[in-house]
Copies of this chain bind each other. A is one copy, B any other.
Amino acid sequence: MFIKIEPGLDLPIYSQLVNQLVDAVARKKLTGGDTLPSVRSLAADLGMNMHTVNKAYHELEKKGIIRIVPKSGAIINDLTQLEISEIQLERISLEIRPLLTEAIVLGMEPADIINLTSAIISDIKGG
């Protein structure tokens, strides 16, 4: 797999795993219908515990990015041409808010923030 985990970072390793899997979907290394490795095999791959991977998978399920079929496996959801749910939009807004507030307080103009946002989005898709 294309996952690199760094223990000792300020971000928990299960969150790192979540972020990198979301990233992989954004970059289309993973796409709707693809299956994720079993929690056991991925845990072995990454040198971490089964339950840690399991926690990451359930986090991804909460986010609506994968579905978990008990006794079978985890599958990436097909979200193309599907409207984002109100709940997920609300959650993202709530998490993004304090960061935007901080940017404003530190002196960024709305236009600067929009430019930064656009640049990051391009990088996510392109890089």
Binding site for B on A (CB under 8 A): 19, 22-23, 25-26, 63-65, 79-85, 88-89, 92-93, 95-108, 110, 112-114, 116-118, 120-121, 124-125
Contacts and interface: CB of A to CB of B under 8 A. Distances in A.
Please state the number of chain copies in the assembly. 2
Nearest to A116: B93
Contacts of A92: 99, 102-103, 106, 116
Given A101-B19, A108-B84, A96 B79 contact: no
Nearest to A78: B107
29 contacts: A19-B98, A22-B98, A22-B102, A23-B101, A25-B105, A26-B101, A26-B105, A63-B106, A64-B106, A65-B105, A79-B105, A80-B107, A84-B106, A84-B108, A85-B106, A88-B106, A89-B116, A92-B102, A92-B106, A96-B96, A96-B117, A96-B120, A97-B120, A97-B124, A100-B117, A100-B121, A100-B124, A104-B124, A117-B117
